[in-house]
Structure 1
Amino acid sequence: MTNPTHGPRTQGFPTQAPAGQAPPPPGFAQRQDLSFAPPARPPRRRRGPLVILSVLAAVIVLALGFVVGYLIYRPADGPAASPLAAQDGTAAGDAGNSFSAAGNPAAGAGGVFDLRRGAVFVQTNDPTTNEVIAFARSDDGRLHEVGRYKTGGVGSGSFEDSAHGIVLGTTAGESSPQHNIDSAQLLYVANAGSDTISVFRVAADGLQLVSNVPSGGTKPVSLTVNHGLLYALNSGELDDRFVLKFPDEFLDNCTHGDQPSVSGFRIDVEGRLAPIPASTRPLSGGGRSGCSQVSFTPDGTQLVVSERLATLPQQPPENGAIDTFTVNPDGTLGAKAVQNTSGAGPFGFSFTKDGTALFSEQNHADKGKGTASSYTMLGNGTLKAISKGVPNSGTDSCWIVPTNDGKLAFTSNALGGGSISTYRIEDTGALTLLHPQAADGHTRDGTFDVALSHDSRWLYQLNSHFGLLQVFQVNSDGTLKFIEEHKAFDITLPENGGQLPPFGIAAF
């Protein structure tokens, strides 16, 4: 079967591309006891004052020494604490990573890593033990691996055609990939192989697993959080394979198994999830539903799902659909609206802070036919198109993220050599293409998930073909300056039997 989503991959898979533990901060120096012998044969009337002054001076010296030592070696966030242990029992940073402030370019202010100030998270999607890899971000945007943390679930071991497999934020909302709030306390992860959702608490120096619960369906691939609610998109796919026969047979997810659906959960203050009764709802229906992403609108009143394939009356499946649900006060979903799209194959989407919806459209991997569209949400939950299918010359446009000021949007194009395109967002919400390729010479096939830092200064891109995490600086004109890349995963290419499993990225 030829994969209508990504098309034949007869080329574009070159050979794989290339990714210390320092002693703990020194303690205070051993201080010798100080003695103060009285001067030889002093007059009796002056001995008492001299001794008192000498003792007072010694106390002052010792106190000053303690204060100076504390200021030099104090941690950034209170009393010293040992790094959190990774879930496999390995201390954070024990994978050949140095935590020395001096000489480590990834050290943050004061030489201390703090994932709550700047971080990037990706997941392995490993079919044996799914893990999240945590990277700390320095002021120059560079990354340093802090640790790898088991989710308590397993991945599918295969590429997932989805967006927002990892979500960062709080119980109140998302800080990445959708920037509705500016806080990074909890990390939510979809375990596509074990049909579960994991929640981590983000500490300064690592992740702490809070819970791992069933997702309410089969194969969760996308998550969203808002106002104490979490909804999971379950693809229903029962076949974990992506590559059926290289180079021309690939499997569309959401098309061979249970009907795709969404399920809701309440989140308590600790990040624990509790399923909401009667919250599970199917998508548009039919046997082919290439579900891609679920997200709340910024105000949390609507839930939106993109389907790059959809079985709708009098419409070819390749056109896809967008489903919207009203969110009831009790967390369940109300009326569903299924609507046609401006372009073919809606995939990833995001919202500006004023509520304009931006969609990437893959056009089913037709070479050079990637597009993006923008919509405004009407009061009844339906979408009204602003810009329709604005081309970017890329192939397989799948993920899109806007800057915090709502002026620029970046779309990643997975194939055709891989590229990241930049659009200008007009005040009306209309899209204008600025740069078909914003990062010349540093992207390649497999340019997948993208995320922006919370200040929109840095863009991070996950390349699942080569296991790379790339770092770019965002320039004011919408171009991207390549900073570095990390070899985050060991990948087997499809021609050698690989399935390209990693998916999902969140940044802060």
Structure 2
Amino acid sequence: MKNTFKRTAISLCLAASLPTLAFADNRHESEETLYTLSNAAVQNEVLAFQRADDGRMEAIGSYATGGVGTGRGLGNQGALALSENKRFLLAVNAGSNDVSVFRIERDGLKLVDRTAEQGLTPVSVTVSHNRAYVVNSGDDSIFGFEFNPATGKLKPLPKSYRKLSAQGSGPAQISFDRDADALVVTEKATNKITSFSLTEQGLPESRHVVDSSGTTPFGFSFGRRGQFFVAEAQGGAVNGATVSSYQLEEDGSAHLIDGAIAVGQTAACWLVTTPNGRIAFTADTPASAISSFAIDRTGHLSLLNSKAAEEIRPTDLAMATDGSVLYTLSGGDHSIGLYSINKSGALKKLESLDSLPAGVTGLVVR
């Protein structure tokens, strides 16, 4: 398929515009804090939520990025990213072509930087060590920054601008591998996975392009041993969604391990893995389903449960740092769901926080 893709699949994975959200005044010490991004075209904001000691979720604040979003779905995964030391939160401003950085403080977030980039319409950001990169849907490119893990400051990285495989590629996500010596990008429109090896200076070197095993590759997550796992919306075909696994080689190229493995649902768009790399979950928007897969040591996949949980049109996922809780972002009823994960990958609903604005994008947990 040349530079087009089935818009049906993408629209199934997008969210709408935003109303106002009220926040709780009282705060509790909690196990974890969640962040999502409003992507509002007037004023982009990070929205923060805490899980209190009694297990309940509550909204605790909204923090302006200084930039603007687009006011519509971005067709992405990874609009927010945490630094490795968990002290800073990075957010894309898709409407103003820049990236904001917040320092995470005891009483909330403090904006410490906002830096423009060379590309157009950043939709996903990744950070590792002293480098950060965005992928841009407006001009099919990636762009990098030097990142100071002590201050949170960003500095554009000269000669880091690179093009993806083709014009109109429809990028969904960018991510460093675990060793931070390569970048991977999924391209929804071209049905390609593009990867870049990086020099010691953090600059993209060789570009590698491989055909996606399933069409409309969307969100992905790295597991162990250089393996990564990709959700494939398959053009929105009814019950056509798949998941595939890939091996990232030392030269930055990728090859297929396993796929495309049927999910048994429609339009799997978002994917996360447990920290031990043994289980993957997908969010299947039109099916209102969370699906689960087992991952063996070699990276091969087997379906555990086509509908491990039911959420109304889920639009993102996040994993607790210890792998015990799965968080879901649902565009259908504007909620965040919490599920405990047992050793077999089964999910049990713990809590739900309603009254989120429509159109939020990105979900990370600290």
TM-score normalized with structure 2 length = 0.92
CA distance in 2, matches of 1:505, 1:161: 14
For residue 172 of structure 2, the aligned residue among 273, 286, 292 is 292
Are residues 1:273 and 2:154 paired? yes
Are residues 1:507 and 2:343 paired? no
Q: Is the 8 A contact 2:55 2:351 kept in 1?
A: no
Q: Which residue of 2 aligns with 1:384?
A: 255
CA distance in 1, matches of 2:55, 2:365: 11
SS in 1 for 2:158: coil
What's the CA shift for 1:488?
Answer: 4.4
Q: Which residue of 2 aligns with 1:167?
A: 81
Q: Which residue of 1 aligns with 2:163?
A: 282
Equivalent positions of 1:220-231 (< 5 A) are: 220-231=122-133
Q: Is the 8 A contact 2:312 2:331 kept in 1?
A: no
For residue 38 of structure 2, the aligned residue among 124, 133, 137 is 124
Q: Which residue of 2 aligns with 1:81?
A: none
CA distance in 2, matches of 1:140, 1:372: 35
Q: Which residue of 2 aligns with 1:476?
A: 343
Q: Which residue of 2 aligns with 1:345?
A: 216
Deviates more, 1:224-233 or 1:473-482: 473-482
For residue 111 of structure 2, the aligned residue among 209, 213, 223 is 209
Q: Is the 8 A contact 1:146 1:205 kept in 2?
A: no
RMSD: 2.1
Are residues 1:443 and 2:311 paired? yes
For residue 98 of structure 1, the aligned residue among 11, 26, 29 is 26
SS in 2 for 1:364: helix
CA distance in 1, matches of 2:292, 2:245: 14
What's the CA shift for 1:9?
Answer: 7.7
What's the CA shift for 1:489?
Answer: 2.6
SS in 1 for 2:361: coil
CA distance in 1, matches of 2:10, 2:294: 32
CA distance in 1, matches of 2:55, 2:181: 34
CA distance in 1, matches of 2:305, 2:211: 28
SS in 2 for 1:162: coil
Change (3 A) 1:138 1:214: same
Q: Is the 8 A contact 2:88 2:101 kept in 1?
A: yes
Q: Which has the larger radius of gyration?
A: 1
CA distance in 1, matches of 2:341, 2:218: 23
Are residues 1:427 and 2:297 paired? yes
Larger proportion of strand: 2
Q: Is the 8 A contact 2:24 2:58 kept in 1?
A: no
Equivalent positions of 1:330-409 (< 5 A) are: 330-409=201-280
- Residue type matched to 1:135 in 2? F
For residue 51 of structure 2, the aligned residue among 137, 143, 155 is 137
CA distance in 2, matches of 1:122, 1:282: 28
Structure 2: gaps spanning 5 or more residues: 16-20
Q: Is the 8 A contact 1:165 1:221 kept in 2?
A: yes
Change (3 A) 1:324 1:490: closer
SS in 2 for 1:6: helix
What's the CA shift for 1:7?
Answer: 4.5
- Residue type matched to 1:306 in 2? T
- Residue type matched to 1:485 in 2? S
Q: Is the 8 A contact 2:238 2:266 kept in 1?
A: yes
What's the CA shift for 1:481?
Answer: 1.1
CA distance in 2, matches of 1:307, 1:184: 28
Structure 1: gaps spanning 5 or more residues: 14-18, 20-93, 100-106, 174-182, 237-258, 311-319, 492-500
Q: Which residue of 1 aligns with 2:319?
A: 452
For residue 6 of structure 2, the aligned residue among 4, 10, 34 is 4
For residue 102 of structure 2, the aligned residue among 182, 192, 200 is 200
Equivalent positions of 1:245-264 (< 5 A) are: 259-264=139-144
CA distance in 2, matches of 1:425, 1:503: 27
Change (3 A) 1:364 1:206: same
Larger proportion of helix: 1
Q: Is the 8 A contact 1:121 1:505 kept in 2?
A: yes
CA distance in 2, matches of 1:505, 1:212: 20
Q: Which residue of 2 aligns with 1:41?
A: none
SS in 1 for 2:213: coil
Q: Which residue of 2 aligns with 1:303?
A: 183
Higher relative contact order (CA 8 A, sep 6+): 2
Q: Is the 8 A contact 1:362 1:370 kept in 2?
A: yes
- Residue type matched to 1:346 in 2? P
Are residues 1:323 and 2:194 paired? yes
Q: Is the 8 A contact 2:46 2:62 kept in 1?
A: yes
Residue by residue, what CA displacement relative to the aligned partner does 1:164-203 show, whole Å, maximum 9, x if unpaired?
Answer: 00111x2xx3xxxxxxxxx421100001111111100111
- Residue type matched to 1:399 in 2? W
How many percent identity over aligned positions?
A: 33
Change (3 A) 1:328 1:426: same
Change (3 A) 1:8 1:384: closer
What's the CA shift for 1:135?
Answer: 1.2
CA distance in 2, matches of 1:9, 1:279: 31
SS in 2 for 1:262: strand
SS in 2 for 1:449: strand
Change (3 A) 1:3 1:357: closer
Q: Is the 8 A contact 1:420 1:437 kept in 2?
A: yes
CA distance in 1, matches of 2:48, 2:242: 32
What's the CA shift for 1:141?
Answer: 4.6
